[in-house]
Structure formats: structure tokens, C-alpha cells
Amino acid sequence: MPTKWMTYLLLKALISGAIVAIVSEISKRYPGAGALVASLPLVSVLGMIWLWRDRPDAGNMAAHSSATFWYVLPSLPMFLLIPVLLKQGWPFWLALTAGCLLTVALYLVMTWLGPRFGLKL
């Protein structure tokens, strides 16, 4: 029989996974609407809810929320690069890989540069 912790973990995974599935299904028919739902900070909000439930600490939550903001910024150029590459005829998987590699590189820059500007990441 699953423990209380395992049941809670499974519930979190099911809810989070359901969001991804819903976005995928909406996007099949309505790409713009799917993009809107995907752009909502649902994962961040759910993460904050789960974090608050597990550790209701205002300072920790503030640090988490602030760091999330700064880590969103390096991910945004990926959403500009991928459509440019696809319109130039790049295969989807190669364009996606390039976008992900750009994001990883920008995350590395953010983790190196952020603390130098006083950001606690």
C-alpha cells in the first residue's frame, strides 16, 4: 500500500502531467490558444503551491519566486529561435535541439552573471 508521501507525489505528478496533456490537445486544434495556456505560469504556480504545502516559509517562497523570474528570462529566446529556424526549413528536432542548447547556454550565463549583480539564484 502506498504511503501518504507516495500518494501525494503521485497526485502532484498527475496534476502536472494533465496540464501538459491539456496544452497538447488544445494546441492540436487551436495553436494560439494552446500557446496561451502553455505560457501561463501554471507549472510555477503549482510548484509554489506544492512548496508552500511542504514548507510554509515566506522567506523561502520569496526566494523561490524571485529566482523563478530571473530563470524565465533566459528561456524566452528559445521561443523566438525555434520558429525562425523552422521557417528557414530546419527539421523540427534540430530546431528544438538548437533552442534547448541556446536556453542551456543562457541559463549558464545567468547563473554566472546573476550573483555578480546581487541576484540570489
32-88 per-position pLDDT tens digit: 998 888 888 888 898 899 899 999 999 999 999 999 999 999 999 999 999 999 999
Distance of CA 18 to the CA centre of its chain: 15
Three-class SS of residue 48?
helix
- Residue pair 78/102 in contact (Cβ under 8 Å)? The answer is yes
> Does the pLDDT of residue 109 top 80, yes or no?
yes
Domain boundaries, the chain: 1-56, 58-121
Give the whole-angstrom CA distance, residue 34 versus residue 110: 28
C-alpha distances in Å from residue 73, one per residue of 4, 48, 91, 99, 108? 36, 18, 26, 14, 12
